[in-house]
Every structure is written in structure tokens, then in C-alpha cells.
């Protein structure tokens, strides 16, 4: 229990440090809010072109796509943690993570906490803005459950992000995360229903955690009918998380050991 408390303290300290660094860039938050508003405005008018009844209740494509974009922002934050590690390497501060009491693996996991928490907060602001400006229909009673699903999904996405960090440490390359984000956004149903895909492609949506996460959040916030039973979606999402956590930690640990043997852990 003491070690768990110490690690949580380390995570809290890391989040506090990263938050202080983020706040020091005073216009970053404003620029992200403006980007969010411009993105929603674009899809609001695109939704006017979609034939009624195609997507979502009463043909509300805008509601459908906003929830998808909100979910995608959390996925992007988790998979782009490798960029934070890259910056630590470039600025020479990664050594602090390596020699910290929680070790390199625990320290890297702690680095992912702030961007994911921030992404969830920004996603909430996006929903509020959509509701206030574009009359975005939200089931208020489903918000707590949607936050729980988002937290569970964030764990699964973080595990995938750790695999990319392992590739960064072992091979000094950050390529792959952007491809994964683009692929999951399409195959996870962010912008359009998976029923539009040919049957031989739909199986891809069942072998990654993004699809059940988006499906559940849409059901909780919009009242849409999930593609499978709610309990099955939860089991799939939880199963992905439970399976990926030890696997990603092991892969990251092996990458750290490999880099140490080569003497390249602090290089990029």
C-alpha cells in the first residue's frame, strides 16, 4: 500500500509539473479552444448536407460526429504521449524520469496522466460549447457514466501509446502514432457509421478498443442504439484494457533494457 501511495504521489507531482509548463504557454489553451470551435462549425454545416435519417436519432449527424471527435481527442492525447517523451529527450530532462524512485516505466506512465486528463476536460468543454452554440442534444443523466467509460477507454489507449514509446526508445523513431490515430478514427466510426464498410472490413472494428468506447459514449450521451449489447461492449472494452496493460508495460520495460545495453537510452 505504501508503494502505491508513493507512486500516486509521484503521478500527482508529474501532473502538477506538466500543468505548470502548459499554463506557461498562455495562448495555447485559447488557440485550442478556437480550433475546437472552428472544427465544430465546419461539421455543423457539413451536417446540413447529410440526408435526414442516415445517422443517429432524427438524422442528427452533427451530434453523431461531435461525440466521435470528442472521443478521438482522448485517443489522440494517449497515443501522442511519445511526443512528450521525445521532448524530454531533446531537452535533456528525461534523465530525471529514469532515475526517479518509480523508475523509467513508472515515470513514463506518469507522463501520460496530464495530457489525458486535459483532453477529457477539453472534450467536456467541447460538449458544453456544442450544447450552447449549436443546440447539441445531450442526455445529462448519462454524463457520469460516459466519463467512466472515457476513463476506462483512456487506460486502453494509454497502453497502446506505451507501445509507441517503446518503439521510440528502442529505435529512436516516433512514426506510427499518427497512422494509428487516422486508422482508428476511420475504423472506429468517428465520422460515419461502420455499416457503410464492406463486410470484409468490419471485423477490424471488433479487434481494437476504440469502437466500443465511441459506441458506448454515443449511447450514453445521445441515446443511440449500440451495435451490440451494452454489457458486451463493456466487457470488450474492459477486456482490451486488462489484456493490454501488462503487455504494454512488459514491452516498454524490454525497450528500456535494450536501450540501456546499447547505451542509447538518453539519446534521440
In-domain check, residue 10: yes
Asked if residue 93 is part of any domain, the answer here is yes
Task: Report pTM.
Answer: 0.85
The answer to whether position 113 is within a domain reads yes
**For residue 211, is it within any domain?**
yes
Q: Is residue 267 part of a domain?
A: no
CB-based contacts of 248, cutoff 8 Å, min separation 6:
158, 159, 160, 162, 163, 166
Tens digits of residue pLDDT in 239-249: 988 999 899 98
pLDDT at position 56 is 57
What is the domain count for the chain? 1
**DSSP secondary structure, 142-202, as one string:** GHHHHHHHHHHHHHHHHHHHHHHHHHHHHHS--TTHHHHHHHHHHHTTSSS-GGGS-HHHH
Quote the domain boundaries for residue 115.
Answer: 2-262
268 is a domain residue:
no
pLDDT of residue 251: 92
- Report pLDDT for 59: 52
Highest mean pLDDT among 63-67, 81-85, 197-201: 63-67
pLDDT in tens, 116-152: 888 888 888 888 888 888 887 788 788 888 888 888 8
Amino acid at each position: 500500500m505504501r508503494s502505491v501511495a508513493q507512486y500516486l504521489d509521484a503521478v500527482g507531482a508529474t501532473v502538477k509539473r506538466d500543468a505548470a509548463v502548459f499554463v506557461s504557454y498562455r495562448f495555447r489553451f485559447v488557440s485550442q479552444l478556437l480550433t475546437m470551435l472552428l472544427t465544430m462549425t465546419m461539421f455543423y454545416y457539413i451536417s446540413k448536407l447529410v440526408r435526414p435519417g442516415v445517422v443517429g436519432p432524427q438524422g442528427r449527424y452533427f451530434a453523431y460526429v461531435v461525440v466521435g471527435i470528442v472521443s478521438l481527442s482522448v485517443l489522440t492525447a494517449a497515443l501522442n504521449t511519445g511526443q512528450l517523451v521525445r521532448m524530454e529527450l531533446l531537452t535533456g530532462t528525461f534523465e530525471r524520469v529514469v532515475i526517479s524512485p518509480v523508475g523509467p516505466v513508472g515515470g513514463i506512465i506518469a507522463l501520460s496522466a496530464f495530457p489525458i486528463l486535459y483532453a477529457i476536460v477539453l472534450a467536456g468543454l467541447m460538449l458544453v460549447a456544442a450544447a450552447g452554440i449549436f443546440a447539441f442534444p445531450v442526455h445529462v443523466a448519462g454524463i457520469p457514466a460516459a466519463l467512466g467509460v472515457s476513463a476506462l477507454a483512456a487506460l486502453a489507449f494509454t497502453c497502446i501509446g506505451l507501445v509507441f514509446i517503446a518503439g521510440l526508445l528502442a529505435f529512436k523513431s516516433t512514426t506510427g502514432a499518427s497512422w494509428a490515430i487516422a486508422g482508428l478514427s476511420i475504423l472506429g466510426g468517428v465520422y460515419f457509421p461502420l455499416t457503410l464498410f464492406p463486410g470484409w472490413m468490419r471485423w477490424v472494428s471488433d479487434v481494437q478498443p476504440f469502437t466500443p468506447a465511441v459506441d458506448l459514449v454515443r449511447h450514453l450521451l445521445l441515446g443511440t442504439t449500440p451495435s451490440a449489447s451494452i454489457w458486451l461492449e463493456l466487457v470488450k472494452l474492459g477486456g482490451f484494457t486488462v489484456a493490454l496493460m501488462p503487455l504494454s508495460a512488459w514491452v516498454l520495460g524490454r525497450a528500456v533494457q535494450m536501450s540501456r545495453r546499447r547505451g542509447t537510452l538518453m539519446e534521440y
